[in-house]
């Protein structure tokens, strides 16, 4: 059985204590590889390597750093098939999605920040004849990047690309459930000419090596993407040392469908925003709120379209949905389907695990639930969506805002004024009007309320990963 290794100081290394964890193939429901269960000893080696790497990387010209990151983006594209196979096998997502979205986007992340850093400028303020103030933005040092399992290489690269572009060295931990593409990236960084110790990748448990990275006095900033409960622990731990921290957390995203929308388009895209990646995208719409006058028409078409989705082997190109990431996660999602029924909901479609090896669940649509019930308040993070009605703009806004989360929202309307008015009153970091998941990478990305603090994307990320220093000169 394949055993993967940590990547420290430009070398693949076994964990110091020799402990490993099983890694599952969710599409088959079987263990297929083993990953290091890293400990403090591995972190000590990574810190030493990162300190050495920082002396080289932080002094390297921006142009050279940029060229190395551009080369890395090219290498990801050159190895797209192998990476997509690994991503799909680790996560259970359809290979067609991994090869068309996840891996290309990882390459784009490196290319985007390789170009951004060349164009990044810091501010200067001149009080004519009196003083000049300018802001120097220096790399912070060693930073910790911790990412989840749902979009493995995509989110891993989304964090480490700006950190590296800014001149920091990184100690990164991918989710223990999807370590394979991060493991493969180590080799590509070497081929791209990245000096040893600049990117170090440790595998293992969140509560073990993840927590150790956050607690370490050597990591000066933490960029974390994951669940809100874990984010609370990470935020509290980082606060003890006044560490910079960015938290990209969970969501319970509303999808508002107004009667004046293009119904066919709203249905088609709502099927995507509900079930893409088995509903395991933080930005999936999980509560569809529909204006009463078109509720029945929307429901009929939506159920009809969703029932055409194929659930099956991630490597079968006919599969629209693959397997959920683990048996434990599948059971959690199923428990919410049972809860929804206990809460008075009616299952309109799906609800069942498929009788085959692997962790497969049918796309599930539920109606008849109050917005205050647990099913509509808690993040399920699977192919489960609820339908509900509203009868006025005000009610739509109130329902949309009625959870502790504030990550994203989609609005379907052909009334421009309404679109703006509603968008401005929704407490979410990202609002889509008549679309879903489109994003210019230059825009700030992140959530409000319990969906996180800080923003990633564009210059926000470069600013996060730098230490501003103001210098004032009297004229
Ligand atoms: P998670 O359980 O919170 O884990 C996220 C990462 O944190 C994993 O690498 C995990 O390691 C690690 N971790 C766990 N405990 C830790 C600790 N005490 N200290 C440091 N690291 C720790 O989340 P997940 O289940 O992987 O991902 C799903 C969640 O992520 C959902 O809530 C989803 O909405 C959210 N998400 C948010 C965004 C966004 O941009 N807002 C994007 C994607 C996903 P292990 O895997 O080894 O436990």
Domain with CATH 3.40.605.10 in the chain: 2-249+451-474
Categorize the per-residue pLDDT at 380 as very low, low, confident or very high, splitting at 50, 70 and 90.
very high
The answer to whether the CB of 149 is under 6 A from ligand 1 is: yes
pLDDT at 118: 97
The answer to whether the CB of 206 is under 6 A from ligand 1 is: yes
Report the pLDDT averaged over residues 457-468: 95
Categorize the per-residue pLDDT at 357 as very low, low, confident or very high, splitting at 50, 70 and 90.
very high
Give pLDDT tens digits for 323-333: 999 999 999 99
The answer to whether the CB of 450 is under 6 A from ligand 1 is: no
pLDDT at 290: 98
Residue 138 phi, psi dihedral angles, 5° rounding: -105, 155
The protein residue with its alpha carbon nearest to ligand 1, atom 19, reads 211
Report the pLDDT averaged over residues 297-319: 98
Q: What is the DSSP string of 298-348?
A: HHHHHHHHHTT--B--TTSTT-SB---S-HHHHHHHHHHHHHHHHTT-EEE
What CATH number labels 2-249+451-474? 3.40.605.10
The answer to whether the CB of 283 is under 6 A from ligand 1 is: no
pLDDT at 95: 98
The pLDDT of residue 21 is above 90: yes
Give pLDDT tens digits for 98-147: 999 999 999 999 999 999 999 999 889 999 999 999 999 999 999 999 99
How many CB atoms lie under 10 A from the CB of residue 174?
27
Pocket test for ligand 1, best of 20, 23, 144, 206 (most atoms within 8 A of CB): 206
The pLDDT of residue 172 is above 90: yes
pLDDT at 329: 98
Give pLDDT tens digits for 226-259: 999 999 999 999 999 999 999 999 999 999 999 9
Give pLDDT tens digits for 88-108: 999 999 999 999 999 999 999
- Number of the ligand 1 atom closest to the C-alpha atom of 452: 41
- Number of the ligand 1 atom closest to the C-alpha atom of 151: 43
Pocket test for ligand 1, best of 226, 407, 464 (most atoms within 8 A of CB): 226
The answer to whether the CB of 56 is under 6 A from ligand 1 is: no
How far is residue 474 from each of residues 126, 131, 132, 136, 325, measured CA to CA in Å?
A: 10, 4, 7, 17, 59
How far is residue 51 from each of residues 104, 108, 174, 222, 318, measured CA to CA in Å?
A: 31, 28, 21, 16, 48
Contact 49, 9 (CB under 8 A): yes
| Spatial CB neighbours of 271, under 8 Å, sequence gap ≥ 6 | 302, 305, 306, 309
Q: Measured on CA atoms in the order 374, 378, 380, 383, is the torsion positive or negative?
A: positive
Categorize the per-residue pLDDT at 322 as very low, low, confident or very high, splitting at 50, 70 and 90.
very high
The pLDDT of residue 186 is above 90: yes
- Number of the ligand 1 atom closest to the C-alpha atom of 230: 3
Buried b (16+ CB within 10 A) or exposed e, 347-363: bbbbbebeeeebbbbbb
pLDDT at 368: 98
The answer to whether the CB of 216 is under 6 A from ligand 1 is: no
Distance from Cα 206 to the centre of ligand 1, integer Å: 8
pTM of the model: 0.98
Distance from Cα 358 to the centre of ligand 1, integer Å: 22
| Spatial CB neighbours of 222, under 8 Å, sequence gap ≥ 6 | 143, 144, 145, 146, 213, 214, 234, 238, 243, 244, 245, 246
pLDDT at 425: 98
How many CA atoms are closer than 13 Å to the CA of 58, on its beta-carbon side?
Answer: 19
pLDDT at 434: 98
Give pLDDT tens digits for 300-309: 999 999 999 9
Give pLDDT tens digits for 382-402: 999 999 999 999 999 999 999
pLDDT at 1: 87
The answer to whether the CB of 234 is under 6 A from ligand 1 is: yes
Domain with CATH 3.40.309.10 in the chain: 253-440
The answer to whether the CB of 461 is under 6 A from ligand 1 is: no
Fold of 253-440: Aldehyde Dehydrogenase; Chain A, domain 2 (3.40.309)
Distance from Cα 230 to the centre of ligand 1, integer Å: 7
H or E stretch covering 390: strand 384-390
CA distance 384 to 113: 35
The answer to whether the CB of 251 is under 6 A from ligand 1 is: yes
Active site positions, annotated: 248, 282
The protein residue with its alpha carbon nearest to ligand 1, atom 21, reads 210
353: β partners:
361
If you average pLDDT over every residue of the chain, what do you get? 98
CA distance 10 to 192: 12
């Amino acid at each position: 059985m394949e055993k993967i290794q940590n990547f420290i100081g430009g070398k693949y290394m076994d964990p110091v204590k020799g402990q490993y964890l099983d890694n599952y193939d969710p599409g088959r429901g079987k263990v297929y590889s083993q990953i290091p269960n890293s400990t403090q000893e591995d972190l000590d080696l990574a810190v030493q390597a990162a300190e050495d790497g920082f002396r080289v990387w932080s002094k390297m010209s921006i142009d050279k750093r940029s060229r190395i990151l551009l080369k890395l983006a090219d290498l990801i594209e050159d190895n797209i098939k192998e990476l997509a196979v690994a991503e799909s096998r680790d996560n259970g997502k359809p290979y067609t999605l991994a090869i068309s979205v996840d891996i290309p986007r990882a390459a784009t992340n490196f290319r985007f920040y390789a170009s951004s850093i060349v164009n990044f400028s810091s501010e200067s303020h001149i009080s004519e004849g009196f003083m000049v103030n300018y802001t120097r933005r220096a790399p912070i040092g060693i930073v910790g990047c911790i990412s989840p399992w749902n979009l493995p290489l995509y989110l891993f690269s989304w964090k480490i690309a700006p950190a590296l572009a800014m001149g920091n060295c990184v100690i990164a931990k991918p989710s223990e459930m999807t370590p394979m593409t991060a493991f493969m990236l180590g080799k590509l960084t070497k081929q791209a000419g990245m000096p040893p110790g600049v990117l170090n990748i440790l595998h293992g448990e969140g509560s073990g090596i993840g927590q150790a990275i956050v607690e370490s006095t050597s990591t000066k900033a933490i960029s974390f993407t994951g669940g809100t409960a874990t984010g609370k622990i990470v935020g509290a731990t980082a606060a003890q040392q006044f560490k910079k921290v960015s938290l990209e957390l969970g969501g319970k995203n509303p999808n508002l469908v107004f009667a004046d929308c293009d119904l066919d388009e709203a249905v088609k895209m709502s099927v995507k925003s509900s079930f893409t990646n088995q509903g395991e995208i933080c930005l999936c719409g999980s509560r569809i709120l529909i204006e009463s006058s078109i509720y029945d028409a929307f429901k009929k078409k939506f159920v009809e379209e969703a029932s055409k989705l194929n659930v099956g082997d991630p490597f079968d190109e006919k599969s629209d949905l693959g397997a959920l990431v683990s048996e434990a996660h599948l059971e959690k999602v199923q428990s919410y389907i049972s809860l929804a029924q206990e809460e008075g909901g009616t299952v309109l479609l799906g609800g069942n695990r498929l009788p085959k090896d692997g962790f497969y669940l049918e796309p599930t649509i539920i109606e008849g639930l109050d917005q205050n019930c647990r099913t509509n308040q808690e993040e399920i993070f699977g192919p489960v969506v609820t339908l509900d009605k509203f009868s006025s703009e005000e009610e739509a806004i109130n329902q949309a805002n009625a959870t502790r989360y504030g990550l994203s929202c989609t609005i379907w309307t052909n009334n421009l004024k309404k679109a703006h008015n509603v968008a401005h009153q929704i407490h979410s970091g990202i609002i889509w009007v008549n679309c879903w998941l489109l994003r210019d990478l230059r825009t700030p990305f992140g959530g409000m309320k319990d969906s996180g603090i800080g923003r990633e994307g564009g210059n926000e990320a470069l600013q996060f990963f730098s230490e501003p220093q103001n210098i004032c000169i009297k004229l």
